Amino acid sequence: MDWDDLRVFLAVARGESLSAAGRGLKIDPATAGRRIARLEEAMGARLFIKGPQGYALSDEGARLMPHAEAAEAAFVAAGEALSGPEGLTGQIRIGAPDGAANYLLPQVLAQICDDNPGLEVQVVALPRVFNLSRREADMAISVSAPSAGRLLVQKITDYRLHLAAMQSYLDAHPPIRALADLRNHRLIGYIPDMIFDKELDYMAELGVERVPLASNSVSVQLNWVRSGAGVAIVHTFAIPSAPGMVRILPEAFSLTRAFWLIRHEDDRRSQRLGRFAALLIEGLRREVSRLEGAA
């Protein structure tokens, strides 16, 4: 069995097409197809079923998948063992919800890259769950801990959220002395049917079912608040990024949530990813503490 053929197998399984595999491996789709055919002949089994949605794993392909991923992890670990304990190098892709991606990761990752000049980090900021089995990312930050799948799960830190608005908005609108007074104000929050994790359903904590201004993006919500459009439940660590934004009724209402770092189980043997994960967790804990203190 040829390792290069296994690499193509993994790329097709994750991308669900020959063209996606070719782009990732920098080979043409025809070559990817020939490699799959050669592997199927060597294995004596059909590994994919081609349908309208692309290439799906057959039963035999699904049984091969964990072994191919284990071989991939061993190959990467062997390279890392030979490269020594010097600074981190190469590319690492992180998936993250846009709150963490916009207000925490830029400064934390900049420091890690300053200390490791050979490192290239990519952040995919999307409000959804990432599929690590398909290698959409090397690791992902989540707002809840998954309970299924071959995953390594580490708690990063707790963080807090508060009601907030611009002081200029509060000066121009009726006072908010109790939570009941919020009915006289325009609320900003998530689009209800686009909340991808129950931990993000903040308005349910207030008993609010709809908001006049809604977005699936934390940054859009925060920019509405910054423009003086209304009141939102915001990450406390994001408040220092908007001068003039203040917390509302902090003693009466606050939420505590957590960030989790999710990695594929097969990456347990990767010293490189393990070292990076440790630096990332340490940096995020420190930055959340600093920004919440500043708020």
Mean pLDDT of the chain: 89
Which range of residues forms the domain containing residue 140? 90-156+258-294
- State whether 127 and 250 are in the same domain: no
The pLDDT, as a whole number, for residue 132 is: 61
Rounded Cα distance, 180 and 183, in Å: 6
For tokens 């062997």, what's the residue? 78
- Indicate the number of domains in the chain: 3
- State whether 147 and 262 are in the same domain: yes
Residue 284 has pLDDT above 60, yes or no: yes
Mark which of 83, 102, 118 sits at the end of a domain.
83
Model confidence band, residue 11 (pLDDT cutoffs 50, 70, 90): confident
- State whether 20 and 70 are in the same domain: yes
pTM confidence score: 0.73
- State whether 205 and 71 are in the same domain: no
User: pLDDT per residue over 18-54, tens digit each?
Assistant: 998 888 888 999 999 998 999 999 889 999 998 888 8
- State whether 180 and 65 are in the same domain: no
- State whether 52 and 140 are in the same domain: no
Contact between 1 and 64 under an 8 Å Cβ cutoff? The reply is no
- State whether 98 and 238 are in the same domain: no
- State whether 46 and 96 are in the same domain: no
Residue 7 has pLDDT above 70, yes or no: yes
- State whether 122 and 133 are in the same domain: yes
- State whether 49 and 184 are in the same domain: no
The pLDDT, as a whole number, for residue 252 is: 95
Q: Which residue has the higher pLDDT, 275 or 295?
A: 275
For tokens 């790329």, what's the residue? 11
The pLDDT, as a whole number, for residue 92 is: 94
Task: Give the CATH number, domain containing residue 164.
Answer: 3.40.190.290
User: pLDDT per residue over 68-107, tens digit each?
Assistant: 877 777 776 666 554 545 678 999 999 999 999 999 999 9
- State whether 147 and 178 are in the same domain: no
